[in-house]
A and B are shown apart, each in its own frame.
Chain A
Amino acid sequence: MADLELRQISKQFDRQFAVKDVNLHVQDGELVVLLGPSGCGKSTLMRLIAGLESPTQGQVLIGGQDKTPLRPKDRNVALVFQSYALYPHLSIYENIAFPLRVRGVPSKTVDAKVMWAARLLDIERLLQRKPRHTSGGERQRTALARSLVRDPAVFLLDEPLSNLDAKMRHAAREELRSFQHQVKATWIHVTHDQTEAMGLGDRIVVMDKGRVRQIGTPGEIYRYPADTFVATFVGSPPMNLIAMDDHILGFRPESCLPTAYFENEIDLFKVAFRLQRAEYLGNETLLYAIADAPLPSTKMIARIPSTLRLDVAQGERYEFAVRRSDLRYFGTDELGAHIDRHLDAIRA
């Protein structure tokens, strides 16, 4: 294993920047998630690291060595594709053995390595099968095993969970995480799913339009979003954003609670709203509302845990509160676009 460093990486396709000025240092054994909407450049960035694309500008360093001019096979990285890219005509065994076979590794060593990887991923009983006779989860493990047998310096995973159904995804996330711990891998994980990113990453890199918006631990990203894009992309429902005179005010739906909940606390910010619709979800209730004077009239959401007994009626005016320490302030320069995105997210 080794660390990975990206220096001032940019990639241009026909004058369009797919990735622009990305700097990132991934520590040895760290799991970093590249998170962003589709088209944000996260997959391109991963392909740049793998060497499937070469950057227009910048350097890729693995273990302190500049690998930018090297071909994919000389970089010692492993890539698990979204589709898993298993070879349909080969058995699971031969799929896992493939990287060793093409390097001319002796059969005995190949066998030992394949069995080791298969045991680690618990797919020993599948080895003689063809990929088409295995489930999505089993294919994913096979792809992982295939990447493992070469002792790569860096693992790259491109949306590895997106082909699994929702139920399996949670379990697979757990497995990935413990697998990563076990092999102590330096690991780049690409996803558009913010829950996956939060649950999996040591650190998260939030990307949008080819640029890095924020790099931080899940806690930092969630509690201190660097801008309105991160504030609305991470968290579901997203952070409430309310345009004030010279700034944008932000607070998470779950920090907006009935005033009574805060008892004698004093450092509170009053949020008045008119309730439009209450959505009961079992563990919580989402209140879709319009902020009311003195706040400017803006769509917002409050998220009330079911443990707080609450009787609310549509159309009524309520006064809730947010701890001042939970308020976030953003500049207004990007106001238009992100407020729009925010509203779209609320409607969806």
Chain B
Amino acid sequence: MRNLTSETENRAIAALALLPSFAILLVLVALPTFSVALYSLQDVQMGEAAHPFVGFENFLWAWNYAPFWNALNNTLVWVFGSVSLEMVIGVAVALMLNRNFVGRGIARAVVFAPYLIPTVVAVLVWRYMFHDVLGVVNYFLLKAGLIETPVNWLSSPRVAMTTVIIVGVWKFFPFVVLAILGVLQAIPQDQYEAAKIDGASEWQQFWRITLPHLMPIFLLTALLRSIWTFHKFDIIYLLTGGGPVGSTTTLPVLVYQKAFADFEIGRAAALALITAFVLTLLLLLYFYLSKQVEARQ
């Protein structure tokens, strides 16, 4: 009997200890999510008291709303462009930093700097550097003879997405370096020594040992970066505000514009839910993969 009592007591204490976290999650996550879901089924205009239910009309509207498809397209370009470049550069830099050379400590610190600089500060500096007339980027490119006329980095609809991706990659490739470097350092040295004795060249050692070791974490990192890039808002909004002519408007930016520029909360909520749905799919894939990886270790 005594054991039973203490078991009940333990459960009570555990529940009590979890209560604050539960309350915080409820107020900050569950309630807002629920209200967004509710809004998406209503016609909510900022400043109007009445919120009539309209069923799935907001979703139907999104389906027929050209800027939504444009934003979805932009988001895919933004995610794919950023993440693929981040992964390639991140892995290359990690491989470099994993070698022994003089000043490696300093090189590591420098590489990680972009990740630590606040986004607002970094973006303001980049905007200045990308300025078509005063910017240092055009200055050097002109000087080197790579371009003949200044590039409108931020004001040309054809170039702006590239510019945004460059800044995003610059900011976030250090994360990939960090993840990959961790794996590289965990690969047992004797595998390389065994391979050397068995006759493998440097190149074969990379393909047959390094790469297979990297693969699981490489995939997980790419997926994680995709999720984070998908809902990234600050870099794009601060650099271009979604322009010019909607050329860098991704889904999160569109949601923001609908809600806080057009004050159409109901429609914005519907767009947000669609975005969340795509993210959930990616997240499920991530959990599935990480379970696979865990099972293999």
Q: A residues bordering B, Cβ < 8 Å?
A: 50-52, 71-73, 77-79, 81-83, 85, 87-90, 98-99, 101-103, 132, 146, 150
Contacts and interface: CB of A to CB of B under 8 A. Distances in A.
B209 A52 contact: no
Nearest to B189: A85
B208 A73 contact: no
B195 interface: yes
A81 B195 CA distance: 11
Name A's interface SS: loop
Contacts of B204: 102
Contact of A99 (B188, B198, B209): B198
Contacts of B209: 87
Nearest to A150: B198
A102 B198 contact: yes
Contacts of B194: 79, 81, 85
B195 A98 contact: yes
Interface in B60-104: none
B197 A98 contact: no
Given A72-B193, A88-B213, A102-B204, 13 more contacts: A73-B196, A73-B197, A77-B197, A81-B190, A82-B190, A83-B188, A85-B194, A89-B215, A90-B212, A98-B200, A102-B195, A102-B201, A150-B198
Contacts, number: 58
Contact of A102 (B188, B199, B215): B199
B196 to A, nearest CB: 5
A265 to B, nearest CB: 55
30 contacts: A52-B196, A52-B197, A71-B196, A72-B196, A73-B196, A73-B197, A78-B197, A81-B190, A81-B194, A82-B190, A83-B188, A83-B190, A85-B188, A85-B190, A85-B193, A85-B194, A87-B191, A87-B208, A89-B213, A98-B195, A98-B198, A98-B200, A98-B208, A99-B198, A101-B208, A102-B198, A102-B204, A102-B208, A132-B296, A146-B198
Contacts of B200: 73, 98, 102
Interface in B205-241: 208-209, 212-213, 215
A72 B195 CA distance: 10
Contacts of B215: 89
A132 B294 CA distance: 13
Listed from nearest, the 4 A-B pairs whose CB atoms lie closest are A99-B198, A73-B199, A85-B194, A89-B212
